[in-house]
Amino acid sequence: MTRILTYSLTLIIGLFHMNQITAQNPMKLETSKEAIKINNGHLSTLEGYIPSKSMTKDGKTAYFSQSSEQKPLYGVFSKKEQIHEIYRAEKINGKWSNITKLKVCPKYASAKHPTVSEDGKRLFFASNMRGSYGKYDIYVADINVDGSLGVSKNLGPKVNTKEDELYPNIYNGTLLFFASEGRDGFGGLDLYASQVSYNTLTPSVNLGSHINSSRDDYAIQLDLEKGESYVVSNRGENHTIEQVTIAYRRQPMDNTMVAYSDENLKTALNAEISNEYTSTSFED
């Protein structure tokens, strides 16, 4: 994995070009109590970026979040608040069914943006549960054989800050990408990376100016075979949320620029994973 990651940091970055993504129709899953929607992911200037469902490698299990209006715990006359909850679905005979709400955080707290690891054994997500370092923090929970989740663990100050950490995404097994607005970066939300293993992780590093912009950058996906990476950002005109395609090559070409070499990022990605997660945050 390290060889691939090191290569990706010395890529020749091509000119940006913008491609706006249109909203996709969500799949509706009927349960005995209510209709649940699995969102295939879309971009919206009103709702912000909504990531797509996260699926296991075999495509049989999906994780997604959904919001609802709920009365807060305290205050008889308090207004309803928007609460985000995480669900699990199974594909049976080509249809999504067996929708289960996962208890990854206490009631009245929110959890969203779930992403499942490649081996299907860990679920990463963002939550504002009590005990977080700031607003939303990144957490991880082991996925048991029966599909239930174990203890939710906060990834700690190597990842989380007093502000929001959102949109976790696992690449190549142990590389965690996420968006943060709690560090000195290039704009609002910047994209960061940290290597994570079981109970350990490396310090987070900014992905740099060739990936981040002066506006909000939400998520990144790498496609080394196509020689492209895809960044979701609101750097479009009038802060329109768009997908930015960044092309790269091994050798310099006309109309390209070389991404600067971030020694801190190289050090972090090649460092021994030795920093432990924080203590238990929530267990159902």
User: Could you report the per-residue pLDDT of 201-238, keeping only the tens digit for each?
Assistant: 888 999 888 788 888 999 988 776 776 778 898 887 77
User: Could you tell me the strand order of the sheet in which 54-55 lies?
Assistant: 54-55, 61-70, 81-92, 95-102
Reference 49, options 245, 205, 231; nearest CA is: 231
The tokens 């174990």 sit on which residue? 150
Reference 156, options 200, 213, 108; nearest CA is: 200
Does residue 97 surpass a pLDDT of 80? Answer: yes
pLDDT digits 0-9 by tens, 7-32: 333 332 322 233 333 233 344 444 43
Binning pLDDT at 50, 70 and 90, where does residue 198 land?
confident
pLDDT recorded at residue 155: 94
**Tokens encoding 227:** 């020689």
Global pTM value: 0.79
Reference 64, options 85, 34, 94; nearest CA is: 85
